[in-house]
Amino acid sequence: MRDLLYIIAVVLVIGWVLGFFVYSVGGLIHILLVIAIIAVLFRVISGKRL
């Protein structure tokens, strides 16, 4: 389950970077970034290293 959250976080960060620099979608990209950061923080708090 934690590996899945990490994969989702990485995909969302990549999507945010691509969306920020290539295609402007507005607030959706920033929502994806926040979700990715929350997933990474959850993983770090749970005791797993990146």
Strands (E), the chain: none
* pLDDT value of position 13: 82
Domain ranges of the chain: 2-45
User: Could you report the per-residue pLDDT of 17-32, keeping only the tens digit for each?
Assistant: 777 666 665 667 777 7
User: Could you report the per-residue pLDDT of 3-17, keeping only the tens digit for each?
Assistant: 788 888 888 888 777
Provide the token pair at 35: 């979700």
Burial (CB count within 10 angstroms: exposed 0-12, middle 13-18, buried 19+), residue 37: middle
pTM confidence score: 0.47
